[in-house]
Chains A and B, each alone.
Chain A
Amino acid sequence: GEDVEQSLFLSVREGDSSVINCTYTDSSSTYLYWYKQEPGAGLQLLTYIFSNMDMKQDQRLTVLLNKKDKHLSLRIADTQTGDSAIYFCAESIRGGADGLTFGKGTHLIIQP
């Protein structure tokens, strides 16, 4: 079955690192994605990782994938106030032809 789980809230201090976690159940996932949604806005594709990779780094973003445990994480280094948003983990199954299955999103709250 398809199920993607995330914690609903994460609070971090400005300048610290944020780590947003996600678990998924379908082992046939080909790509795993992180999307960002700011208030009143659409979804912005942040990064993605192919299922045969363990890690991907892109500037302040680091994605880690543990395929054995079906666990995905997004680390944001030096968290800024502009990082405040909802972060969605998503998986594509059957090459994505059925669309993406999203987690319920993690609200990242930045404390000054």
Chain B
Amino acid sequence: DTAVSQTPKYLVTQMGNDKSIKCEQNLGHDTMYWYKQDSKKFLKIMFSYNNKELIINETVPNRFSPKSPDKAHLNLHINSLELGDSAVYFCASSQQTHEQYFGPGTRLTVT
């Protein structure tokens, strides 16, 4: 069984649209994360979240918002998509912030 899963795997959409990426973990972890990997493979944290605290990287535009319906899910909602949002987005989870396990990634292409 997949530990951290993301859907969709690929997402192609036009500028200005609103889209969501879903993430689910079945590891019983208490903390989840979203990372962005750009075309040069550089990875950067966007959000970390547990049921007590949401930490937002200050460089993330407020068009991006994490939504957690429950402890096992952390979805990423993006408003008014821009060309520069094209990237691979990775979800991860951990127990008490140690040993983060990553999902397979969602490749977002904005045209």
B103→A97 contact, CB < 8 A: no
Of B42, B44, B45, most buried by chain A (CB within 10 Å of CB) is: B45
**Complex-state Cα separation, A61 to B36, whole angstroms:** 27
- Measured as residues with beta carbon below 8 angstroms from the partner, the interface class of chain B is 20 to 34
Binary per-residue interface labels of chain A (25-43) against chain B in the complex, 1 for a CB within 8 Å, 0 otherwise: 0000001010101000111
Classify the interface of chain B: helix, strand, loop or mixed.
strand
Q: Could you tell me how many residues of chain A have their Cβ less than 8 Å away from some Cβ of chain B? A: 23
Distance between B27 CB and nearest chain A CB, rounded to angstroms = 12
**Complex-state Cα separation, A95 to B92, whole angstroms:** 16
Q: Find the B residue at minimum CB distance from A35.
A: B102
A45→B100 contact, CB < 8 A: yes
B45→A45 contact, CB < 8 A: no
Chain A positions within 8 Å of B57 at CB level = 98-99
**Complex-state Cα separation, A99 to B48, whole angstroms:** 6
B45→A100 contact, CB < 8 A: yes
Q: Find the A residue at minimum CB distance from B9.
A: A40
A104→B41 contact, CB < 8 A: yes
Q: Find the B residue at minimum CB distance from A104.
A: B42
Do A92 and B45 form a contact, CB below 8 Å, given A42-B105, A97-B55, A104-B40?
no
**Interface residue? A96 (CB, 8 A):** yes
Chain A positions within 8 Å of B94 at CB level = 96
**Interface residue? B12 (CB, 8 A):** no
Chain B positions within 8 Å of A100 at CB level = 45, 100
A92→B90 contact, CB < 8 A: no
A105→B98 contact, CB < 8 A: no
B→A interface (CB under 8 Å)? 31, 33, 35, 40-45, 47-48, 53, 55, 57, 90, 92, 94, 96-105
A→B interface (CB under 8 Å)? 31, 33, 35, 37, 41-45, 48, 86, 88, 92, 95-102, 104-105
